[in-house]
Chains A and B, each alone.
Chain A
């Protein structure tokens, strides 16, 4: 999409995201929607009007084209479907910081609009918050990204995949340098072994947080999982071997440092990860050489 077109469309988004006219019951559209609710009575195409405790008031369109206001108990709403708002696809197309900020502003409005319904399944503000968080990530605004994820986790949203949100919060936490907080997120969520890319990123981030928190063994555990079982996913082997070196130094395992450098130089001689590992060792070079010289042969077996 051309840049100019994106801007034009984004400007339009600053208006309310979903139609919200305040007409009384009749032929005019009002409220948020349309959305489809799956209830024990079947599927209902409706617009969301207002919330009263455990009841959601909706406008149902009749065959004659008029709308009838009716109440649906929240406990009856098994699923909610909606046509993806244009805002979401525009978010994907946003490239420049100003485009991203415009989208974030529009997403915020949408989130506020849907705030009375946040405990409905698959409410659009869930996706809106996810997109908002990822836009902040793209802007390097880690604290804001964390805040968006935390909103999902801390409020009453019915999340289908809470673990993934939690992991993403943890990943942003590591980038924000909030190691302890990140660890709390990353250590209590289940890591998806099916999504190899996410799993790898989470383990890398968790290892970084462990390293920063002075827990080298825990960091080694995460990194070795990638080296041993998923070496060829992304650049796992090179990046994990590189990241493990400071932990071995912390543990004083110079033999492991030596072997790791050998492996990196042997398999990834031109990788920046190898250069980074060499650099990490550089200031400990004399200690490393001393240890290597001191290493005694194993005692013979009886």
Chain B
């Protein structure tokens, strides 16, 4: 630069010698200066000032020497000397061309030696005295920086504000905003700082302080978060750019700045542009240094992005925007390397998922968390691992996976005996057992809970679930006082109406119908809109009917409207009983009307068929058989082709009764007409139903009917009742494979059919026969639960028993066989089978003595079943041998050999041999 200044003075550099003239000395100084040897230049300029300082003819040289000396001193870091030189320069040459630069360098030198007060004064002086100087803009900027460096944040903020206002087009404006934000933040005003930072956003892609702006934004966010100003914190954090984007930006900016600097250093500058050139170069170097520092700082910041995302997640969580929080935390988990951050995000994610009630996702996230941190003693100590384990276990409850919940809660109780949420863990443990209908375990668990935590805030819930469990366990006597006490103790609880309702139901179950009716009546007045209101009305009707208050019962049932859904039809069915009990013309008229009204209001309901039956039945009681016949035939013809609909067999069964007073052959003729009509209209399902009913009327046996039906119809033309009939008939007639085809189709196409019980029962038998005991048991359970007739139910219970026996669950099997034996509905042939099986269970449990009475009952009571009798004798004798009762064994064999019905059976030979052995 000084070379340029030399050009201004019209001088050229020469070598320096002792005793040289002033021009030569100056040239020497200038030569050193231009070649960057500032220390060598200094003595030459000093010499000139000392010797020729007052020489009038050399004032131009002296002025240039002062400038050269000041700059050289500045450039080699002799700031104090430089300040003195420039001060003398200003004093001696108050009108010097480079006066503003000198003033700027004085200020800058003060700044360099951290004499910020003096620097501020000097910059101020420049701004006041040379407001139009090229250096004014930089002076104003540096002035503010000095305040910052001097930790005078308030003054710095004001100074930057002054700068952006005074120099609105300055390149330094974005930087000024960043520093202003920094100063405002340091001054404790993070809200204003954030507003300032937002203004930086406009310049975000083209200035070197973007990284600092990001760090400031992060700091503002943290402060705001601490102050629970979550929205403000979020606003700040969302100003922060991602690491990759910043690095890309920063590298691009460094590249650009380096190119600009290179260009500037190659540029030839006219004398008039010297100061501007200096200013630009200074700025670029400062920018480059800032950029490089920031890039380093950025690259060295671990998990920068993950840290920001975690903060964003926490803000969103705090303002209840949970889906946003979930998104942020998930990304932190994906990206963070730092295990501390990973753990924090994992924990926060689980909390968020819990609040979002996304339990499957929670379980997966908790598994991941526990896998990674579950054994960390510090996290266990801090309660974080136990908290996650609890939320995970609780999710099973919320997902209604009660078996898993029970296991998880039991595990928590064992692993974390001092878990801070132990009351809730124990409550959930008991509740999950109750939900699995394991009331005998749940009830003592609830009782113990109440003993251990009587004052806990969950006590109200436990106080409710205990009697409810008792209710479902049929412990009505025990439940009543607890339910009543609950109602009294927690009148405002959401469970209170239900508790009161269940108390009334207990009384009903205990056949205290009067009390039940009274309480239900009151309950309906108090809770007219409760979810259970329809069920309560039906139960009220039942209670009143049981008390003989039939009119009031009718009123209760009739108050159940179509709005009640399935309960509406239930109430109508209950009304049938009332009308039948009333047994009056008026009652039957009402009964017929109720059903006809129902049919008219619900033409699409499958209940129509049953309603038609009840209406027809009522009409028959009124001797209006002709109307009943019409109604039946209308119903059959109109809806009989609906394959899914059921209940027609009741109508068909009742029809002959309606033709009693009609001439012989009239029923058959009507059947023929109906079949003809169905055939013409292509109503094959209806036709199949009519044919089956007509065959029934003719008294054909099951096998014949099945054969005829299979000959005339295809499988897809059978409704559920015919599929069940044919399946059952085929199984019984020794064609289980084809029979099962029908039954499988029934289950597949009509899983909710009332005839599905047959399919389940037969399927269970087939599975049992093939040794698939687990599945057989499952199907038998379903058959029992859905059985519509007691005989089929007992058949299914027998299969249950056999399956349990095969699975080694002898005690449960024994219970099933006892039920089979106790029921009057059990088919006779099944009973000796059940006795043999029960005896076998006892023997398997080493209770041989208990087996013997079963065997004895068989050969005493079921002599007709010779297979069973023979087996019972043989097993009984073996049992006596096991018990070392030789005499009884001998007697048993003898009795067997003398039994007439067993003569000729192969077992007798074996019995004879055994007897001979025993007698010898």
- Chain A positions near chain B (C-beta within 8 angstroms): 220-221, 224-225, 227-229, 231-232, 244, 248, 253, 255-256, 259-260, 263, 299-300, 302
Contacts and interface: CB of A to CB of B under 8 A. Distances in A.
Contact of A302 (B316, B331, B423): B423
Contacts of B456: 302
Contact of A229 (B326, B331, B421): B331
Contacts of B313: 228
A224 B238 contact: no
B320 A259 contact: yes
B319 A259 contact: yes
Contacts of B316: 228
Nearest to A222: B327
A224 B324 contact: yes
B322 A256 contact: yes
A288 B856 CA distance: 71
B235 to A, nearest CB: 10
A253 B327 contact: no
A300 B457 contact: yes
Given A228-B316, A231-B238, A300-B457, A256 B323 contact: yes
B483 interface: no
Which of B313, B324, B420, B422 has the most chain A CB atoms closer than 10 A to its own CB? Answer: B324
Given A229-B331, A302-B423, 6 more contacts: A227-B327, A232-B238, A248-B323, A253-B323, A256-B322, A302-B456
Given A228-B312, A302-B424, A220 B457 contact: no
B96 to A, nearest CB: 51
10 contacts: A224-B323, A228-B309, A228-B312, A228-B331, A229-B242, A244-B323, A248-B323, A256-B321, A259-B320, A299-B458
Contacts of B320: 255, 259
Contacts of A260: 321
Interface in B275-331: 309, 312-313, 316, 319-324, 326-328, 331
B327 A221 contact: yes
B424 A253 contact: no
B424 A259 contact: no
Contacts of A224: 323-324, 326-327
Interface of B: 238, 242, 309, 312-313, 316, 319-324, 326-328, 331, 356, 420-424, 456-458
A227 B324 contact: yes
A227 B316 CA distance: 11
Contacts of A220: 323
B148 to A, nearest CB: 29
Contacts of A232: 238
Contacts of B421: 302
Contact of B327 (A225, A255, A302): A225
Contacts of B312: 228
Contacts of A253: 323, 356
Nearest to A252: B357
Chain B contact residues, majority secondary structure: helix
A263 B322 CA distance: 13
Contacts of B328: 228
B161 to A, nearest CB: 26
Contacts of B458: 299
B50 to A, nearest CB: 64
Which of A224, A231, A255, A263 has the most chain B CB atoms closer than 10 A to its own CB? Answer: A224
A244 B458 CA distance: 37
A263 B231 CA distance: 10
B771 to A, nearest CB: 43
A260 B321 CA distance: 8
Closest 10 interchain pairs by CB? A224-B327, A228-B327, A302-B421, A259-B321, A228-B328, A228-B324, A224-B323, A259-B320, A220-B323, A256-B323
A244 B324 CA distance: 11
A302 B327 CA distance: 29
A221 B361 CA distance: 13
B248 to A, nearest CB: 9
Contacts of B422: 302
Contacts of A248: 323
Nearest to B361: A217
Contacts of B331: 228-229
B420 to A, nearest CB: 6
A224 B316 CA distance: 11
Contacts of B424: 302
B14 to A, nearest CB: 57
Which of A229, A248, A299 has the most chain B CB atoms closer than 10 A to its own CB? Answer: A229
B345 to A, nearest CB: 13
A255 B331 CA distance: 23
A231 B324 CA distance: 11
B420 A302 contact: yes
Nearest to B322: A256
Contacts of A302: 420-424, 456
A220 B361 CA distance: 14
A8 B422 CA distance: 85
A299 B494 CA distance: 14
A256 to B, nearest CB: 6
Contacts of B324: 224, 227-228
Contacts of A244: 323
Nearest to B358: A217
Contacts of A255: 320, 322
A62 to B, nearest CB: 43
A274 to B, nearest CB: 16
A232 B201 CA distance: 11
A260 B320 CA distance: 10
Nearest to A260: B321
A256 B321 CA distance: 7
B551 to A, nearest CB: 39
A263 B420 CA distance: 36
A300 B458 CA distance: 9
A231 B320 CA distance: 18
A129 B610 CA distance: 67
A255 B352 CA distance: 13
Nearest to B330: A221
B916 to A, nearest CB: 77
A178 B63 CA distance: 83
A277 to B, nearest CB: 14
Nearest to B320: A259
Nearest to A231: B238
B393 to A, nearest CB: 15
A235 B309 CA distance: 20
A233 to B, nearest CB: 11
A302 B356 CA distance: 21
Contacts of B326: 224
A89 B843 CA distance: 96
A269 to B, nearest CB: 15
Nearest to B328: A228
Which of A224, A228, A244, A248 has the most chain B CB atoms closer than 10 A to its own CB? Answer: A228
Which of B319, B321, B423 has the most chain A CB atoms closer than 10 A to its own CB? Answer: B321
Nearest to B325: A228
A256 B324 CA distance: 10
A238 B902 CA distance: 91
A152 B287 CA distance: 47
A253 B352 CA distance: 14
A228 B310 CA distance: 11
B38 to A, nearest CB: 48
Contacts of A300: 457
A252 to B, nearest CB: 10
Nearest to B319: A259
A256 B355 CA distance: 11
A218 B309 CA distance: 20
Contacts of B309: 228-229
Nearest to B356: A253
Contacts of B356: 253
Contacts of B327: 221, 224-225, 227-229
Nearest to B420: A302
Contacts of A229: 242, 309, 327, 331
B793 to A, nearest CB: 40
A1 B456 CA distance: 81
